[in-house]
Amino acid sequence: MRMLEREVALVTGAASGIGRAVAHRLAARGALLALIDSNAEGVRKVEQEINDNGGTSSVFAADVTNSDSVQQAVSGAVALIGSISTVVSCAGILRIGTVLAMSEQEWHDVIAVNLTGTWLVARHTMPWLLKSRGSFVAISSDAGTQGASGYAAYCASKHGVLGLVRCLALDHGPQGVRSNAICPSFVQTPMVDTAFVGTTAEQRQHYEQLVPLGRFARPEEIASMAAYLTSAEASYINGAVYAVDGGATAGYFVQ
């Protein structure tokens, strides 16, 4: 697997949703994949899918909220593959509640995965990205660019991701590493499904109709942007925030 002329991509949150779609998209363009997720069973299924389709991927189970765990996963990937040139940080969780309705533990859990997890992944992969003059992409959210009623912790964490990515772009752009962020709106993923537990099909359809394109995104559509931002075609894009949200944050919209 030590084929250093090939792209070596590390993807977190790879067991499902956007992370899974990103892994498949990067594998399709020939990247060697290091798949990271705390869901060992789920991420091994993705590994099998990629390898069955002719790709090359390996699993490194890790908890992105734990520095030692992330470091061991990154070290394991480098020891096996030899380098890292692309990082896409997709790991995230959602907890709903106002500051009064949610517990302190729920707050800490969301910040730990969404924000601290992104920071730890950047911290432990940046030395390798500096060597390869690679690219870092973080999945934020439209909730990272505006508020959302009842999503206090989630919004705070995703706003933080944008601040982090902009600092990465400033700090390490001069050294050849590009860092960018993607802000989806609702995406058809298991995590988003949890936000609609207990609601009716009509209520979900109402939210879909709030998007000018009239539907939620497919994970593959977010993966397309991640693939672009980590490609040679995006060689001058650094510190950018891309809304991939069907126009949801473009302005006031009435169906």
Q: Which of 154, 228, 236, 252 is catalytic?
A: 154
Report pLDDT digits (tens) over 230-239.
Answer: 999 999 999 9
Report pLDDT digits (tens) over 105-130.
Answer: 999 999 999 999 999 999 999 999 99
Q: Is the pLDDT of residue 2 over 60?
A: no
Radius of gyration of the chain (CA): 18
Across residues 167-186, what is the average pLDDT?
98
Q: What is the pTM of this model?
A: 0.94
Q: Are 126 and 173 in contact (CB under 8 A)?
A: no
Count the alpha carbons within 13 Å of 193 in the hemisphere toward its beta carbon.
Answer: 7
Report pLDDT digits (tens) over 220-229.
Answer: 999 999 999 9
Q: What's residue 116's pLDDT?
A: 98
Q: Is the pLDDT of residue 74 over 60?
A: yes
8-244 in CATH: which number? 3.40.50.720
Q: Is the pLDDT of residue 1 over 80?
A: no
Q: For residue 164, is it left (φ>0), alpha (ψ between -120 and 50) or beta?
A: alpha
pLDDT band of residue 5 (cuts 50, 70, 90) is low
Is 154 designated active site?
Answer: yes
Domain ranges of the chain: 8-244
Report CA torsion sign: 117, 148, 228, 135.
negative
pLDDT band of residue 254 (cuts 50, 70, 90) is confident
